[in-house]
């Protein structure tokens, strides 16, 4: 029986949905949040139909007032956050001279700023009890500066820097902060719709299954305090690196 709840920021489909369903199956009350309310409702209904407990709250994670209200509502229903998974999606690539400044700002908002706001509200509630996990999902661009990824890499580097600073600040106070680098392509519907040939060429073992990401996040949360991991990476066996 869990004493608190799990929140998945960026829930709805793909990785966020897989994480939510895995945690609900473990008995967690799950709080689902993203901007698209329709996607949230469908996921919440699926979890509840399977016997889980889910609360869907549409919110813009880059808006400080909405994030504060999100945690207030979640805590009214389920108490204290025990696990927060930050899994917002967003992607952009292309030559620097063709990238509009607004695109960089959008990615920074949805990744770095949103991660900061979510972590701040979660920490306010976790620190008094001295426990909890803040898990951030990053990408290859979090650590490698590849050509054509200037906006995306800047946003993901910012999120990783935020996670590292937080780990050093709140880790000694009992809050586990970890950063997960997804070094590969996740097997989500969008990949098959937008890149069908690439998805078919890679095959099932060349794409990362969202359910396996969920398992890794759960393992991170369960680590004892004398053996915490801050950062690890996931990639298919045939992914070059």
Please state the rounded mean pLDDT for residues 25-52.
92
Q: What is the pLDDT of residues 108-165, one digit of tens each?
A: 899 999 999 999 999 999 999 999 999 999 988 888 887 767 788 888 999 999 999 9
The pLDDT score that the predictor gives to residue 151 is 80
The CA-based dihedral angle spanning residues 38, 57, 36, 119, taken in that order and rounded to the nearest 10 degrees: -150
For residue 210, tell me if it sits in a domain.
no
Cβ 14 vs Cβ 210: under 8 Å = yes
CA 167 – CA 175 distance, rounded (Å)? 8
For residue 49, tell me if it sits in a domain.
yes
For residue 205, tell me if it sits in a domain.
no
3-state DSSP assignment of residue 18: helix
The CA-based dihedral angle spanning residues 51, 55, 58, 64, taken in that order and rounded to the nearest 10 degrees: -140
For residue 130, tell me if it sits in a domain.
yes
Q: Which two tokens stand for residue 96?
A: 């620097």
Cβ 152 vs Cβ 112: under 8 Å = no
Angle between helices 210-222 and 14-25 (to 10 degrees): 50
For residue 198, tell me if it sits in a domain.
no
Domain count, the chain: 1
pLDDT over 80 (residue 92): no
The pLDDT score that the predictor gives to residue 201 is 62
Q: What is the pTM of this model?
A: 0.91
For residue 81, tell me if it sits in a domain.
yes
Q: What is the pLDDT of residues 183-241, one digit of tens each?
A: 888 877 666 566 666 656 666 667 899 999 999 999 999 999 999 999 999 999 888 88
For residue 133, tell me if it sits in a domain.
yes
Here the CATH number for the domain that contains residue 24 is 3.40.50.720
Domain residue limits at 80: 6-175
The pLDDT score that the predictor gives to residue 107 is 85
Radius of gyration of the chain (CA): 17
Q: What is the pLDDT of residues 224-236, one digit of tens each?
A: 999 999 999 999 9
pLDDT over 60 (residue 177): yes
């Amino acid at each position: 029986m869990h004493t608190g709840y799990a929140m998945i920021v960026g829930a709805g489909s793909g990785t966020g949905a897989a994480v939510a369903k895995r945690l609900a199956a473990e008995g967690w009350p799950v709080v689902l949040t993203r901007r698209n309310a329709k996607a949230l409702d469908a996921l919440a209904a699926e979890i509840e139909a399977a016997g889980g407990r889910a609360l869907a709250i549409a919110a813009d994670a880059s808006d400080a007032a909405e994030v504060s209200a999100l945690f207030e509502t979640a805590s009214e229903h389920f108490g204290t956050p025990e696990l927060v998974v930050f899994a917002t999606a967003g992607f952009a690539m292309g030559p620097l001279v063709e990238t509009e400044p607004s695109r960089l700002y959008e990615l920074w908002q949805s990744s770095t700023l949103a991660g900061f706001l979510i972590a701040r509200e979660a920490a306010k509630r976790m620190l008094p009890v001295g426990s909890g996990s803040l898990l951030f999902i990053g990408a290859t661009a979090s650590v490698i500066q590849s050509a054509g990824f200037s906006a995306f890499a800047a946003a993901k580097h910012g999120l990783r820097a935020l996670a590292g600073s937080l780990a050093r600040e709140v880790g000694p106070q009992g809050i586990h902060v970890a950063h997960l680098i997804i070094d590969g392509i996740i097997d989500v519907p969008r990949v098959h719709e937008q890149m069908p040939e690439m998805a078919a060429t890679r095959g099932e073992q060349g794409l990362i299954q969202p359910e396996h990401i969920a398992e890794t996040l759960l393992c991170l949360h369960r680590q004892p305090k004398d053996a915490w991991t801050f950062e690890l990476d996931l990639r298919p066996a045939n992914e070059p690196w």
